Amino acid sequence: MNEENNTHTARRIPVEGDFMHTMYSDKWYSYLQCISVRMKSEDDRDIYVVFKKRDLFSRGSKIINTSLNTVKNKHKKLIEGGFIEEITIKDNFNKEKEVYKISYINTLYQMVDVSVLEVLYTLKTESMIKIYAYLLNKFIYYKDKNYIFTKGELVNKCLGLKNKDDKNSLRKVELILSILKDMKLVDFKTIRVELEDGYTYRKELVSVGVNYKVNK
């Protein structure tokens, strides 16, 4: 297996399916994605791997502002969910190395720029990357018209909860949207939508930034 320079500046983030459940950490998953190395397998396929190092968890937990025990638990969950795999490969010197392979998940995904992931996984709030990736995907798909969404939709689609009216989850989504807007990564406005029996308020997606600059 031959290692190649990792020149890709974006990573694949699932935007549907099991990954969107709160049990799976988008912060730790994105961190592993960002430090992964692109390699060529024996059958000439691109794979992304993270070499097992003694300080992987201790160093990573500090970077993503999460306790060491929590990171280890989240890592275990990602393995159990099939999002990363423990495998053994041979390096350029034909020596066996234990690595964590980023699994290929056959589901809808969004390529997210590393500059965005690297700033979002340092924040304390989980699911922010999922919500950002979900809205970016919708913004690109509905490029000819602004996408209209609700906080309840994000609770269901990005937190994996069936109860769209859960107050704590709605507050969490509101906080995440506020942070993303302050960072100029996501812009939206509140609109009034007429219904047969009255009206309601929803959010209309105006823009989603594809990269992050510190001095925006």
| pLDDT computed for residue 6 by the predictor | 40
Determine the pLDDT at residue 41.
Answer: 67
Report the chain's mean pLDDT, rounded to a whole number: 90
pTM: 0.90
Q: What is the pLDDT of residue 139?
A: 95
- Within 8 A by CB and 6+ apart from 202, the residues are 148, 149, 150, 190, 191, 193
Residue 129 near residue 121 (C-beta atoms within 8 A)? yes
Q: Are 96 and 90 in contact (CB under 8 A)?
A: yes
Determine the topology of domain 125-208 in CATH: Arc Repressor Mutant, subunit A (1.10.10)
pLDDT of 189 above 70: yes
Instruction: Output 8 or 81, whichever has higher pLDDT.
Output: 81
pLDDT tier at 42, thresholds 50, 70, 90: low
Closest Cα partner for 50 from 17, 78, 81?
78
**Burial (CB count within 10 angstroms: exposed 0-12, middle 13-18, buried 19+), residue 159:** buried
Return the beta strands (E) in the chain as ranges.
Answer: 2-3, 10-14, 37-40, 46-51, 84-90, 96-102, 109-113, 148-149, 186-195, 198-208
Cα of 38 vs its chain's centroid, Å: 18
Span 21-45, average pLDDT: 87
- Residue among 34, 54, 202, 205 at smallest CA distance from 120: 34
The 10s digit of each residue's pLDDT in 65-78 is 999 999 999 999 99
Query: What pLDDT does 5 receive?
Result: 36
Q: Is the pLDDT of residue 82 over 60?
A: yes
pLDDT tens profile 98-132: 999 999 889 999 999 999 999 999 999 999 999 99
User: Could you say which DSSP state residue 27 is in?
Assistant: H
CATH class of 2-102: mainly alpha
**pLDDT for position 96:** 87
* Crossing angle of the two packed helices 56-63 and 26-35, in degrees rounded to 10: 120
Task: Assign 193 to helix, strand or coil.
Answer: strand
Per residue in 163-178, pLDDT (tens digit) is 888 899 999 999 999 9
Q: Which residue ranges does the chain devote to CATH 1.10.10.10?
A: 2-102
Most confidently modeled range among 26-35, 49-58, 92-101: 26-35
Q: Which residue has the higher pLDDT, 202 or 40?
A: 202
